Structure 1
C-alpha cells in the first residue's frame, strides 16, 4: 500500500465513516414495516416503495430526519388501505424520532487515528445533510478539535467539492476524500480532481450504493476496510 508524505489535505466524511448512522435508520424502517404489517405487499416491496419515496423527498426537501419522517408518512399513505389518523401519524413519526435519541457511537479506532493523522496532515470534515442536525452530531462526537474546518453541504456533487476546494485552498495533487459512500464520497470527489479512499461499511445506506468510478489519470483510488488503516497510508 502506498504511503504519502506529510502535508496532505484529508476531507473526511462523517456518517458511517466516523460514527454509526445508517443502522439506526434501518432499525426504524424495520419497525415501520412491522407496524404497516401489509398483507398485499411483502416487506421487500414495502422497502422498494420507501426507497422510491425517499428519492422523491430528498429532491424536494433534502436530507435529514424531517425528510425521513415525510418519507415514512408518504409511504404509509401510498400503501395503507386506510387513511392515516393522528394516532398512526404519531406512531410513524415516533419511529424516526427514535433515531435522534441515539448516542453518537464512534466506529472502531476513529479518535486515535484522527489524532495521529492530524499530527501530519490537514483534516477537514465534510458531511452532507441538514446543517443543524449534522453540526449537532459533530459537537456530540467530540471530534471537532481534530479538524481545521467543518464543511456541511446540502449535497455532495462535483460542484460542492469544487467549492470546498476553492474555499479551503486545497490542491488536487495533495487533496483526498475519505468516506464510505461511492455515490457521495468517492465518485464526485474523483470527478472534481481529488484522490479518494473508499472505506467499506457493511451497512452503507442503499441509496448511496454505486459502482466505484475509475480514477482519472494521475489520481489514486485506494480501498480499505478499517479506519485505522488510514495511518498506514498517510
Structure 2
C-alpha cells in the first residue's frame, strides 16, 4: 500500500464515459453515408481524417463535427456537403450536447477514499471550455487540488507539470486508460503509471506498451484502493 502519494488522473474514459458517445454518433454516421459493405472503408477514411484534424485543430465536439463533414466530402469525391447534409450531421451530434456526465462505476467512492490520504490532481486534454464544463458538472471536482487542461499530453507536458508543481517523480503516479496519452509519455517523463483499460478507448489513443511502462495494470477503477 502506497501512502501520501500524488495521484494524477486522466478524465475522459478514466473518470467518466466519453468516447462511447462519439462511437454512437459514428455508428449513425456510417449507417447514413455508407452501404453495409462499405462501412469498414468509410471508418478507415474517418479515422485518418480525425488523426489529421486532431493534430492540426485539437480535440472536442467542434473538431469532430469538422471531421464528419470532411469525411462526407471525401466519400463524395470532394463534393461540399449540402446544407441538408450538414444539418444531418448536426442532428447526429445533438446527443453530445447533453450536459450530464456519467461517472464510471466506483469512481466517486474511490476518489473520496483516496483524497483522504493522497494528493489528487486532474490532467485532461482538449478544448478548454468543453473540458472545464465536464469537470464542473462531474460532482467530483472538489477532490482535486488542481485541474490542468492541456492541448496535448506529451513527455514535455508531464515534465513541465512535474517541474511547475515540484512533484517527486518517485511518488507521483499518472492514472489513465490511454496508452498513447496517459501511460507511455508519463513513463518516459519519469513518473509511475497505472493503466486502467477501457473497452471504448478511442482508436487514436491505442499504442503498444512495453512491459515496464505501466507500473500497475488494473481491471477496474476501485482496484486503486488495494494499492493506494
- State TM-score, norm by structure 1: 0.93
2:53 paired residue among 53, 57, 60 = 57
Deviation for aligned residue 1:102: 5.3
Report what 2:221 is aligned to.
Answer: 227
1:73 paired residue among 69, 72, 88 = 69
Instruction: Give yes or no for the alignment of 1:90 onto 2:93.
Output: no
User: Secondary structure in 2 aligned to 1:42?
Assistant: helix
Report what 2:34 is aligned to.
Answer: 37
Report what 1:125 is aligned to.
Answer: 122
Could you tell me which runs of 5 or more consecutive residues in structure 2 were left unpaired when the two chains were aligned: none
Could you tell me which runs of 5 or more consecutive residues in structure 1 were left unpaired when the two chains were aligned: none
Q: Deviations over 1:41-82 (max 9, x none)?
A: 611111100000001101111011111001000000000256
User: Secondary structure in 1 aligned to 2:13?
Assistant: coil
Instruction: Say if 2:29 and 2:92, in contact at 8 Å, map to a contact too.
Output: yes
Deviation for aligned residue 1:214: 3.9
Instruction: Say if 2:28 and 2:92, in contact at 8 Å, map to a contact too.
Output: yes
Q: Deviations over 1:172-192 (max 9, x none)?
A: 010000000000000000000
- State TM-score, norm by structure 2: 0.95
Report how many residues are paired.
Answer: 227
Instruction: Say if 1:38 and 1:80, in contact at 8 Å, map to a contact too.
Output: no
Instruction: Give yes or no for the alignment of 1:139 onto 2:133.
Output: no
Which whole-Å CA distance do the structure 1 matches of 2:184 and 2:34 have between them?
Answer: 38
Report what 1:153 is aligned to.
Answer: 150
Which whole-Å CA distance do the structure 2 matches of 1:38 and 1:102 have between them?
Answer: 33
User: Secondary structure in 2 aligned to 1:177?
Assistant: strand
Deviation for aligned residue 1:35: 1.3
Report what 1:175 is aligned to.
Answer: 172
